[in-house]
Amino acid sequence: MSGEAESILKQRAEALALTDQSAQVSDHVLVLFLRAGQIYGIRVGEVEGGARLRDLSVVPGGPSWIVGAVQHRGRVLSLIDLPGFWGQETKGAADLPSYVVLTNRSRQVGILVEDLMGLHNIDAAPVPYEGVAKIGIADVARLRKRPVLVLSARSLFSDPRLAS
Amino acid sequence: MDDAIRQVLNIFQDELRENSLAITDALIQIERADAAGRKTLMKEVFRHAHTVKGNAGSFGLQDLEELAHAIETALTPFRDGQKKPTPGIIPTVLEALDRGAKRVAQAMAGNDEPDPVIQSLAAKLLNPAAAATPNPPPSAPPPVEKPKQEEVRTKEETTGVHRRRAEDEGTGEVSGVQPGGGGQGAQTEFIRVSMARLGALDRQLDDLREVRSALEHHSESARRLYWGLEATLASQVDETVRDFVKSLRDQVQVLFRGMSNDVGELSSKLSEADDELRGLRMIPVRGILAPLKRSIWEHAHSAGKQGRFEMSGADVALDRKLLEELKDPLMHLARNAVDHGLETPEERKRAGKPAEGLIWVVVEQRGSTVFITFADDGRGVDVVKVRARAIERGVLSSEDAAKLTEDGVRELLFSSGFSMAQSLSKTSGRGVGLDVVRENIGRLGGKVSIRSTLGKGTQFLVEIPLTLATTQALLVEAAGTVLALPIVSVTASTYLMSDGAKAASKVDLNGQILQIHSFADVLGLQGADASKSNFPVIVLSDAGRKIAFRVDRLLGEREVVVRPIPPELTAVPHLTAAAALGDGRLVFILNAKALLEAAGGVTPEARAEKISAKKRIVVADDSITTRSLHKQVLESAGFSVRTASSGEDAFRILISEGADLVVSDVNMPRLDGLGLTRKIRKERRLSALPIILVSSLDSEHDRKNAEEAGASAYVTKQEYQKGELLRLVKGFLFL
């Protein structure tokens, strides 16, 4: 396609299209939450929303890391507990107060949180971390000297247990 | 590629699909039309080809533009309708249209390079010699896809929808015109709305339901406040505040009554909005039937046959999801009709039939069920040959085959692996067609049957519930969890009253004695109360198998709104979908077949087979002497035994090979018998496995530990010597 033709088409298309504001948000802004003594972060572009945990339904015969499911904006949303997902013993996950919805294209999953810490601008410089590497963790950032494990939706959904 | 350009290319892709469908439809009809008819149809072809040419040029897709031009050039000699297009042209044009769709997809992926295949097709169309030679139809080209709704926003419109006039719809028909709707040329304007928009609306309705739940909660709080104030007034209240409290009570009463009314009104409106939204998702079945026309035509031609497709009732609307699921089964039936139904023109002439075979579909809606009849006027099913083939393939013995009725013989055609084809073709012969059709339609909650008359034709009758959006379910509670069972899977439900302290373990269903299984145990739910001696029982069935399940409560039948479940939940074997209860809770809809398999359900015939096959027992004991002793005792009794020297080994064997029962020592290093039992109970597919623990320890405490771990029985060494182990094994295995 010629440059001129592309330019004309682009002008026409821009007149027709809406711009997506969300794509312009900084990559260093994370939604932070606390779970089992660890702070986790999710890039704001990968968070669809969150809610208080209400009306949790048990998944009969489901794996232990799927704590249950809820109706979230018209869809069935699985709620997972990160420590359980990584094979650690967890108790009381069903009593956690809220969840954050992690999204990647059409896939969504709810992550149970103990304490939602809100949006934070995070220092993106690499931070040494001696914990066990876990699937779904893309980065380690820092919040006032505490390590923040940054989740990646793409990485998490690449796990066969969550892949479509 | 710029998102804006991609959006516009999306629209072009959509329009190209409709243009292609219209051209295909017209070209197929041309073969049967007279001169006047051909002229009209050619006009349609040229109109749509011209549109494709123009749009392709706008996007700089020169190769596609030239291909459209080549189509026009090739068909120009036949434009006046006086002659039929030469045999080779139509298949080439159809192939060109398919390739055009791929070209646009390539452009959307950012590939601007001309497509050599398109250039070759254009050259073929422009070369009269090549066009005169009949080309073999393309092998199994992808059918022209169903209309996909895409949205575009224009400067003029702020609602985000794309308006098209009905006459511009790809079929060339003026569809949607209301009878008596305003005279000749009157058209109904349609609006295209993307599925994403409908999904967003659906989610917003859900948000409103949450608001309703919150309002209900507040209304309830106001009601309690009212009664609190009422109680206060009834007690000793200082006269100085009595009037104030009374006034407050009255105001609160008005408040909660008003809120109750509002909640009721909101519920009613939400329900109406739900119904409207469901209606929007309904699409005429024509969308999946129209492509069959081309498919049947091409398939028949490639098989040296002539086949025509007609449809009736194509305006019946079905849920979009249901339509997507029906596409494949109907395509199977179409190919089956060509391969096995239609005769060659010569055979048909000898039978006194027209050379061209007819395949037709009739769609009718009666109540909440849609009936689809898929029929042909071909050779019909030769029951004698099917019976013989069944014996030849070992599907049935001669004696069993002789007992089958003609209907029963025809039903064999739905068996997996059974085929009447003499040889394999691209689409038939492997016996994986009709069984898949039945399975797919079964998954939709429907059924398919066959009727046939030898020499006259065959009919497949498909019945399906109108929409997937709702279904009738029986709600039950087990271990505190509410679950839903499709009502079609529930054969019976009853309440068992025990005549003693011990709960009944079997139920009599019209003379058939069924073992009762714990629903909670089969599903791995914790907290089931097994102490009650009176409890409800439901009987589930699937393909002739029946199993009785004990539940804690029967909560009644209800029509539920079905929600699909995400991939991580589809991996859970018992789940098919979820349903939204009106109060916002989710309940999971269970798969009866998987439940029966988990509980070990078998048909009476398979049970007899299973009993005659050796039962497999895993024996776990760290003492080689004890292992050998158990093995000898059990093998003498006719069982097949695998031994393990540790709990870990036993578990590995169970996972990799399975078993029918486990006998385990309690005291073993690392993973002892109790640990092994707990581990087995946690493993979903082993959770119902009988486990007998054997130990020299004989205290109440030891037995209790075993019971708490989940063991089915506990045998001391003394009891073992009296034959108790063998008695228990036979009991658990129903021998």
> A60 and B60: CB-CB below 8 Å?
no
Instruction: Indicate the residue type of B370.
Output: V
* For range B312-328, the mean pLDDT: 81
- Asked whether the predicted pLDDT for residue B603 surpasses 60, the reply is no
Question: Which residue, among A4, A21, A58, would best test binding to B if mutated, counting the most B CBs under 10 Å from its CB?
Answer: A58
Q: For strand B369-376 and strand A66-72, is the pairing parallel, antiparallel, or unpaired?
A: unpaired
3-class state of residue B591 by DSSP: coil
Contact B131, B87 (CB under 8 A): no
Nearest 5 degrees, angle CA B64-CA B43-CA B176? 95
Most distant CA pair in chain B: distance in Å?
A: 111
Contact A79, A53 (CB under 8 A): yes
- Asked whether the predicted pLDDT for residue B633 surpasses 70, the reply is yes
> A108 and B155: CB-CB below 8 Å?
no
> A16 and B206: CB-CB below 8 Å?
no
Instruction: Indicate the residue type of B363.
Output: V
Return the pLDDT at A10: 63
Most distant CA pair in chain A: distance in Å?
A: 63
Q: ipTM surpassing 0.85, yes or no?
A: no
Interface of A with B in 40-99 (CB under 8 A): 54-55, 57-63, 66, 69-71, 73-78
Distance (Å, whole) CA B22 – CA B560: 40
- pLDDT over 70 percentage in chain B: 81
Q: What is the mean pLDDT of chain B?
A: 78
Cα of A65 to nearest chain B Cα, Å: 11
b/e map B390-411, b = 16+ CB within 10 Å: bbeeebbeeeebeebeeeebbb
Bridge partner residues of B357 (DSSP): B307
**Residue B563 sits at the chain A interface (C-beta within 8 Å):** yes
Instruction: Indicate the residue type of B77.
Output: P
Interface of B with A in 53-72 (CB under 8 A): 58-60
* For range B160-164, the mean pLDDT: 30
pLDDT class of B157 with cuts at 50, 70, 90 = very low
- Asked whether the predicted pLDDT for residue B230 surpasses 80, the reply is yes
pLDDT in tens, B33-88: 889 999 989 988 988 888 888 778 777 788 998 899 899 889 988 888 898 888 78
> A78 and B569: CB-CB below 8 Å?
yes
Q: Say which range, A150-164, B472-486, B648-662, has the weakest mean pLDDT.
A: A150-164
Cα of A152 to nearest chain B Cα, Å: 18
**Residue B202 sits at the chain A interface (C-beta within 8 Å):** yes
Q: What is the DSSP string of B139-157?
A: SSPPPPPPP-------SS-
Interface of A with B in 96-155 (CB under 8 A): 107-109
Distance (Å, whole) CA B215 – CA B209: 10
Lateral strand order in the sheet of B447-453: B307-312, B357-366, B369-376, B457-465, B447-453
Lateral strand order in the sheet of B616-620: B640-644, B616-620, B661-665, B691-695, B713-716
- Asked whether the predicted pLDDT for residue A111 surpasses 60, the reply is yes
- Quote the tokens at residue B223: 């009601």
pLDDT class of A22 with cuts at 50, 70, 90 = very low
Return the pLDDT at A139: 76
pLDDT class of B343 with cuts at 50, 70, 90 = very high
**Residue A163 sits at the chain B interface (C-beta within 8 Å):** yes
Return the pLDDT at A13: 56
pLDDT class of B675 with cuts at 50, 70, 90 = very high
Alpha helices in B373-416 (DSSP H): 383-392, 398-403, 406-411
Q: Phi and psi of B663, rounded to 5°?
A: -115, 125
Q: For strand A98-104 and strand A137-143, is the pairing parallel, antiparallel, or unpaired?
A: unpaired
> B59 and A71: CB-CB below 8 Å?
no
Cα of A69 to nearest chain B Cα, Å: 8
pLDDT in tens, A58-86: 898 888 889 999 988 767 899 999 988 88
Distance (Å, whole) CA A105 – CA A82: 21
Query: Which residue of B568, B580, B586 is in closest CB contact with A161?
Result: B568
Return the pLDDT at B3: 59
Most confident of A103-117, B179-193, B280-294: A103-117
Most confident of A16-25, B473-482, B635-644: B473-482
Contacts of B386 (CB under 8 A, 6+ apart): B409, B410, B412, B413, B420
Return the pLDDT at B543: 67
Cα of B561 to nearest chain A Cα, Å: 11
Distance (Å, whole) CA B659 – CA B643: 11
- Asked whether the predicted pLDDT for residue B89 surpasses 60, the reply is yes
Return the pLDDT at A132: 54
Return the pLDDT at B389: 84
Locate the chain B residue with the closest alpha carbon to A2: B60
pLDDT in tens, A115-135: 888 888 877 666 666 555 567
Q: What is the pTM of this model?
A: 0.44
Distance (Å, whole) CA B235 – CA B246: 12
Distance (Å, whole) CA A2 – CA B282: 42
* For range B246-259, the mean pLDDT: 90
Q: Say which range, A39-48, B177-186, B627-636, B671-680, has the weakest mean pLDDT.
A: B177-186
